Structure formats: structure tokens, C-alpha cells
Amino acid sequence: MSYDFDLFVIGAGSGGIATARRAAEYGARVGIAEYDRLGGTCVNRGCVPKKLMVYASHFPDVFEEAQGYGWSAVQSSLNWETMITAVNNEVDRLNGIYQKMLDGSKVELFRSHAKFVDPHTIDLGDQKVTADKVLIAVGGKPFLPNILGIEHAITSDDIFHLKEQPKRMVILGGGYIGCEFACILNGMGTEVTQIIRGDRILRGFDEDIRSEIQQGMINHGINIIKGVQLIAIEKSEHGVVVSVGAGDTADTVIADAVSLAAVGRKPNTHNLGLENTGVKCRDGAVLVDEYSHTFEENIYAVGDCTNKINLTPVAINEGRAFADTVFGGIPRVMSYENVPTAVFTTPEAATVGLTEAEAKEKYGDDLKIFYTRFRPMYYTLAGKDEKTMMKLIVHASSDKVIGAHMVGPSAAEIVQGVAIALKTGATKANFDATVGIHPSSAEEFVTMRSPVR
């Protein structure tokens, strides 16, 4: 049977675009549909604009710390509109680059919502197209809890378009998105209250990372309310009132005009017409095998819509592995072992490999834990008691380093290099034999000699 396309991609986020271009390099006729902006969450509502705001939030501390090095005091204030405009202009620039990349790869772009009519037919609103293979790469979307007054809350998608800086912000949720925006807004001068259900933020991360970041956030002035359930949000003459409860008690927190709901994200698989195919989902996530293959013979899925590891580089790697396998004749699968990740809070964190709890579950007591906590040299003249924490988890029998965790300045930049070592199977002896760069914080990863447990 003849089809309009060899591959049709639904969703032009980072994973979808990377897949489309790689398949086109192999000579495939590729179409891609996107009803929103190119680049998906990362470029438009996540990694890129968020990281730019992280940079913006650090300048007040830098101005203050410079005085310890002899610089005169700086009186400066944030123009929120200028900052937000600059951030969104950069996003616009990147959208243009993605368009040029698709054009250069001869991938045909359809600016419309795509929906399955059957496994090989896609409804694009004003037309239908057919494809031999179809890739679902629709990403995820913020989840809003079902509570009274949730319409008065915004999500992380909306924060990049606020016209004015909120003086007071209530953030709901203790995941990495909520924590990052709590730190961003706090650094910019907003009074931040963060509400979490448990005792600590960042569930799923190593316990030392969780406790170190949480205490650091508190030290920087963020009010974290622990162990409570969200009851309701309502408008008042003073702003937005968020009601929370713990046991039989209740309390209220007031924000200016909005609260930020950051309680998680869900796969964006609604209204795709999946019922017209053999594709199966669990809690909205598309079920796939190791080759990103769904239960429908010709349909595949990558990225956040599969709810495996929801990171942009993972989606890109999954998509390229699919294209290499199906169109390049080079069968390969995405490895989910030792995938590094970072949390751009203040202080920053990065991690790769197993947490201590995961290592204990897998190896029992056959572990050595190396740990250090110190004040980086930068803060000595600045007169601040900021700390950096580093931790290595070693499988004792093999001497293999199976986890590395860091909290402190440039954690992401440092752990990226450490991740290469873990990916290649480095041992603690390899770390010990590596000459450190002195003076640097990074050298601590190769100078820890005595395990703490």
C-alpha cells in the first residue's frame, strides 16, 4: 500500500523533532504535526526559560557577595517586564531555529492538532494524511488537583507570561518544578510559601539531597509548610487565600493574585483518537517496549507521554534510537541506567546512579558510602555559611561507583562529568587515581578516602 509518509510524528517537541530529522537523514518521507509552538515543554515552558530565570534570580546574591571582595555596594532592582520579555524573546529565537532545522531536513510541518482515524490515517482538521509508521511524541502537561477554587491557581506553563512580579506567592507541591520556582521567585524578591504533603521535598531523590536542599531553601528565606493537605483556594480583597489543613487544624496563606500549582505532570494523550488504534495506556501513559513500540504494529511513542524518565535528553535519545532502528537498520535501545539529572534550586543539586536507599535495596549492606560537606572557597571572603555536599555510593565487592550526588554551586556542570565515569563502569580506585583540579569543589569527588558508613 502507498502512504503519504514513511513516518508521521505527532508532536514537535524536542523528542519529536529529533526523531523526524534523524529519520529524514535516512531518506524517509517525514511529516510532523504540532498545534502549539515548536520545541515542546523544554523550549517554551520548561528547561530553557526556567534556566534563564534561574540566572536572573542569582544576581542579588552576587551583588551582595561581591562586597566581601572589595566591590562597593550595588543598589539594583528587578524590572520584571524587561526580564520576562528577554526570556520570551529567546524562546521566539529558538522556535525559529527549530523551524529552520525542519525545513533543512525536508520534514513537512503541519500546524494543527493531529488525531488518529485508524492506525495509518491521521486527521489534521482540514485534511487527512496516511503514514506507514506513526510516532506519538506529545509530551506531558501540568496536573491540577481537584480542589475547590483551583481555577485561581496557575501552572508552571503560565508563570513565564505573568505581567507583574508577585509580591507573595504560594507554591503547591514539593517536586522539582515547585522547588525550582520557589527558589527563582525567592531570589527575585517575592515572599514565597511552599506547601508540601510530606516532611521533605523532592521525593525520589537521595535523602541527603532532599534534606540539604530543603534546609538551604529555608536558610534563604522560603517558608516551607510541611505535612499538610490542600483544602481550597479562594479569591479575596487581599489576593488569593490558600487554605491548608493538618489533622483537625486548618490555616490560611495569602498570596497576591495567584498561587502556583506544581503537584506534578501527566502524559498529554487526551483527544488523540487512540481508541481508534490498538495503542494501550496506563494512567494516560502510552505503553511501549524497549524499542518504543506500542501494542499497535506500526505505532511507536517516545518522551514524557510514556512516563518513563521525563527528561528532554531522554526523549531525544529514545527518538533517535527508534529512527536508527526502524529507518537506519541500526537496532539499538535507550539505556535508562545512570541517567544524570539536576535540580536548579538554590542551592543547586545534581545526581546520577542509585540513591542510597535504592543501593541498599539492591545490594544490602555490601556498600561503602563516602560523604563530604564543606564551605566552598568562593564564600570565604563573601562571609556566607553556604555549604556544598558530595556523596559517592560504592558497591563494596566490586568497588564500582554506583551513585554520585551533589548539592552546591555548579552541581550540574560537575556531575555531568562524573556521569561519564559511572556510565563507563568506573571504580572507586579509578576515582582515587584521578588527579584533582585544585582549588575547586569538583576535586572533592576524587579525594574522599574514608567511608562514613
Tell me whether residue 208 is in a domain.
yes
Per-residue confidence (pLDDT) for residue 240, from 0 to 100: 87
Residue 349 and residue 421 share a domain: yes
Per-residue confidence (pLDDT) for residue 287, from 0 to 100: 98
Residue 128 and residue 15 share a domain: yes
Average pLDDT over residues 217-225: 96
Residue 138 and residue 164 share a domain: no
pLDDT at 416 over 80: yes
Condensed to tens digits (0 to 9), the pLDDT of residues 368-409 reads: 999 999 999 999 999 999 999 999 999 999 999 999 999 999
Residue 21 and residue 168 share a domain: no
Report the C-alpha gap between 419 and 398 in whole angstroms.
18
Condensed to tens digits (0 to 9), the pLDDT of residues 84-124 reads: 999 999 999 999 999 999 999 999 999 999 999 999 999 99
Q: What is the mean pLDDT of the chain?
A: 95
If pLDDT is split at 50, 70 and 90, which confidence band does 255 have? confident
If pLDDT is split at 50, 70 and 90, which confidence band does 248 have? low
Residue 171 and residue 319 share a domain: no
Residue 121 and residue 11 share a domain: yes
Tell me whether residue 335 is in a domain.
no
Report the C-alpha gap between 109 and 24 in whole angstroms.
13
Share of the chain above pLDDT 90, in %: 89
Tell me whether residue 451 is in a domain.
no
Residue 423 and residue 396 share a domain: yes
Catalytic residues: 438
pLDDT at 61 over 80: yes
Share of the chain above pLDDT 70, in %: 99
Condensed to tens digits (0 to 9), the pLDDT of residues 321-340 reads: 999 999 999 999 999 999 99
Per-residue confidence (pLDDT) for residue 247, from 0 to 100: 65
Q: Which of 263, 289, 304 is the last residue of a domain?
A: 263
Tell me whether residue 332 is in a domain.
no
Detail the DSSP E strand segments found in 289-387. Answer: 299-301, 341-343, 349-353, 367-374
Residue 131 and residue 190 share a domain: no
Condensed to tens digits (0 to 9), the pLDDT of residues 286-304 reads: 999 999 999 999 999 999 9
Residue 193 and residue 94 share a domain: no
Residue 275 and residue 133 share a domain: yes
Cα angle at 41 between 324 and 62, to 5 degrees? 115
Residue 118 and residue 16 share a domain: yes
What DSSP line would sit under 194-222, residue for residue? EE-SSSSSSTTS-HHHHHHHHHHHHHTT-
Domain of 400, in residue numbers? 341-446
pLDDT at 261 over 90: no
DSSP 373: E
| Helix %, strand %, coil % of the chain (to 5) | 35, 25, 40
Average pLDDT over residues 201-217: 98
Which cell numbers hold the place of 74?
550595588
Per-residue confidence (pLDDT) for residue 251, from 0 to 100: 79
Average pLDDT over residues 126-136: 98
Average pLDDT over residues 418-437: 98
Give the total number of structural domains in the chain: 3
Q: Which of 326, 357, 372 is the last residue of a domain?
A: 326
Residue 206 and residue 109 share a domain: no
Report the C-alpha gap between 220 and 387 in whole angstroms.
12
**Which CATH number does the domain housing residue 210 bear?**
3.50.50.60
Nearest to residue 376, comparing CAs of 405, 409, 411, 412? 409
Which are the contacts of 444, defined by CB distance < 8 A and separation ≥ 6? Answer: 372, 374, 388, 390, 436
Residue 356: CA count within 13 A, CB half-sphere:
15
Per-residue confidence (pLDDT) for residue 258, from 0 to 100: 65
Average pLDDT over residues 16-20: 98
Tell me whether residue 79 is in a domain.
yes
Tell me whether residue 311 is in a domain.
yes
Tell me whether residue 452 is in a domain.
no
Tell me whether residue 331 is in a domain.
no
Q: Which of 263, 288, 304 is the last residue of a domain?
A: 263
